[in-house]
Amino acid sequence: MPAAASATPAPASAAEPVIRLDRVTLRRGQTQILHGVDLTVHAGQRWALLGPNGAGKTTMLGFCGAQTHPTSGTVDVLGHRIGRVDMQALRREIGHVNPRHPLRSPLTVTQVVLTGLTGTIEMPMRWEPTAQDTQRARAALERIGLSERRDAPWTTLSQGERGRALIARALVIEPALLLLDEPTTGLDVAAREQFLETINGLDPGPALTTVLVTHHLEELPETTTHAMVIAHGRAVAAGPVDEVLTTETISAAFEHPIEVSKAHGRWAARARRGR
């Protein structure tokens, strides 16, 4: 990592939640964005945050990613209290997949993955990856099935390939926490399914916890274990995914009669007939 990098926070105890939000509020100017939200995520769980536009999902992901301070309440991530820890150092312990990755330089896929080690968008000046760094990047690409594209320029990748490469970039630091911010945005059906297959194929177990934000039930991986549904900055429901993603809950959150169904491990939503 760059020489200026801050010390890494001490690892959290295995008994502590990976994420804990306690009565969290957020206000910007005169606008109240979140109203006393609670969330506890334990190691190995695969969470989804769902809700309509403006519900507060991305704001909550900002807390989970050590990007945002609450107006009131407390946020603990990987055992560290936001406001009492070096935020930049903590962020380097968290993998983050953002399909709107604002890369401008013609980096290769391997170089893009290497930026996961530095926590930057571009390759830092005067920083050269070690042979071990490069091996880690290639191993991450192999893990998500993109080894054959490791030397390709980023600009030549399809949107689906870019999404998978960004997973490798997030995984190269071997994070305990992986955040996915509307990761299937802009993907066609085939690319979406390939992306979800990659997420479903990530090693199960307590070594990796994930939180995914989406508007659409069809975009949930089969491996989703828990969900929180949010509307108007408040939690409508949270808990095991099969208990939360119901017709009643989704209809209430989206303020429209929506029928929720599940088949072969995948969810779907459509307008309720006869309404």
pLDDT in tens, 74-118: 999 999 999 999 988 898 899 999 888 888 888 999 999 999 998
Average pLDDT over the chain, rounded to an integer: 90
Report which of 208, 271, 220 is spatially closest to residue 245, judged by C-alpha positions: 220
Q: Please say whether the dihedral angle defined by the alpha carbons of residues 82, 53, 198 and 191, taken in this order, is positive or negative.
A: negative
Mean pLDDT, range 59-77, rounded to an integer: 94
How many CB atoms are closer than 10 A to CB 205? Answer: 8
Report which of 132, 130, 107 is spatially closest to residue 120, judged by C-alpha positions: 107
pLDDT at residue 2, as a whole number: 42
Strand order across the beta sheet in which 72-77 lies: 31-41, 19-28, 72-77, 80-81
Helix (H, G, I), strand (E, B) or coil at 80: strand
How is the chain split into domains, by residue range? 1-93+177-191+209-275, 103-174
pLDDT at 14 over 80: no
**Which residues, 6+ apart, have CB-to-CB distance to 10 below 8 Å?**
79
pLDDT at residue 79, as a whole number: 94
pLDDT at 4 over 50: no
Q: How confident is the model at residue 272 (pLDDT cuts 50, 70, 90)?
A: confident
- Token pair 């929180």 in the structure block, residue: 228
Lowest mean pLDDT, pick from 17-21, 128-132, 155-159, 203-207? 203-207
Report which of 175, 209, 208, 214 is spatially closest to residue 196, judged by C-alpha positions: 214
Q: How far is CA 172 from the centre of its chain?
A: 15
pLDDT at residue 44, as a whole number: 94
**Which residues, listed in sequence order, are joined to residue 234 by a DSSP beta bridge?**
231
Specify whether the CB–CB gap between 188 and 235 falls below 8 A: no
For the stretch 133-148, pLDDT in tens is: 999 999 999 998 899 9
pLDDT at 3 over 60: no
Q: How far apart are CA 261 and CA 247, in angstroms?
A: 8
Q: Which residue has the higher pLDDT, 273 or 170?
A: 170
pLDDT at residue 10, as a whole number: 54
Q: Which CATH class is domain 1-93+177-191+209-275?
A: alpha beta
Mean pLDDT, range 241-246, rounded to an integer: 97
- Token pair 């299937």 in the structure block, residue: 184
pLDDT at residue 104, as a whole number: 82
